Chain A
Amino acid sequence: MAVTYTLISSSVLSSTTASVTFSSIPATYTDLMLKVSGRSVGNGEWFGSLRLRFNSDTATNYSVRSMTATPSVGYGEETSISFFYGAYAINGENGTANTFSNAEIYIPSYTANQEKPFSMSAAVENSATSQPFRTESASLWRNTAAISTILVYSDANFVSGSSFYLYGIKNS
């Protein structure tokens, strides 16, 4: 029986860290899935922006369309074109201590010779009435290269205990 869902690499932080990099990602899978449980410190906010950069590409090749649900404002939207992928998907330092977000990024056909669409689903619950939210996003990296490196960072720093798991999924 084929093994189609494989852990490629992981990182669980033991100290405050600015970023995590997955490099030398093999081209042997069909899709990639990145799971993040994160909390940020250093931006003075209830939440933080989870950011991705592929293959060290710093050009404005990333676009994102997000919708975010919160108890206070219902749901809103955000659209941007930038030099990184970013969406509100991690807990911030103002939230209840020890609360971490769940975020799942799915990148299909990451080696295909085409621009790369991907999705993200995130929940940021902090056991308080302020600023829990749910984010869904659609994104595009306008580059036809196979993804071999993923830089994960935020608008601040990730705290100890934040975890990052990169899985490869095969269709055969």
Chain B
Amino acid sequence: MAAGATYEPIYSTTLSTNAASITFSSIAASWTDLKLIFVTTITSSAHTKVQLNNDTAGNYSAIIIKNTGTSNSTSTSDSNGNYIFVSNMPSVSVPCFYTYDFFNYAGNTYKTCLSSSSTDINGSGVVGRSVSSWRSTDAITSIKIDSNGNNFKPGTIATLYGIKAA
């Protein structure tokens, strides 16, 4: 068993006013994996964007399974996106819950992210799960959660945890 804590909060932000984005920067390479927990409402529903190291190029890919309630569960893919994609259209009134797990984030290989969207809005909404790849060998040092031209509302909370293998 590891001598110290293996699951630590690195950064946490709770919004008291509207904010267009939340950025966690200067992420140290001290952990093995990262986990982002995000609960939000938004001023206008749109896909939020999660981008790494300010990379806005088409270096992200994803495959998603989801149930939107308007049809049978479906899978979709996005091969050259400019952000990590999950079925993440937050509600303007009901808190919605997202998770992002980044594995081996400081390694020198492409980065994999498992993400989840849990946005039940009293019988409508989306349950989505996805796997994404960021085609960069850089260590992840910043994570930006962007509201895509809108604002995250007060009460939104984002926490980044570091998980150590040893």
Contacts and interface: CB of A to CB of B under 8 A. Distances in A.
B8 to A, nearest CB: 6
B8 A67 contact: no
B122 A140 contact: yes
A161 B120 CA distance: 32
Contacts of A115: 94-95
A63 B95 contact: no
A112 B125 CA distance: 21
A114 B69 contact: no
A62 B72 CA distance: 22
SS of B interface (majority):
strand
Contacts of B67: 65-67, 77, 79
Nearest to A140: B120
Interface residues of B, number: 37
A169 B94 CA distance: 22
Given A117-B94, A117-B120, A112 B7 contact: no
Interface in B113-166: 116-123, 125-129, 155, 157, 159, 161
B39 A67 contact: no
Contacts of B72: 76-77
B123 A63 contact: yes
A65 B125 contact: yes
Contact of A138 (B127, B155, B161): B127
11 contacts: A1-B4, A4-B5, A67-B127, A79-B69, A114-B95, A119-B97, A119-B99, A119-B118, A136-B127, A137-B120, A140-B94
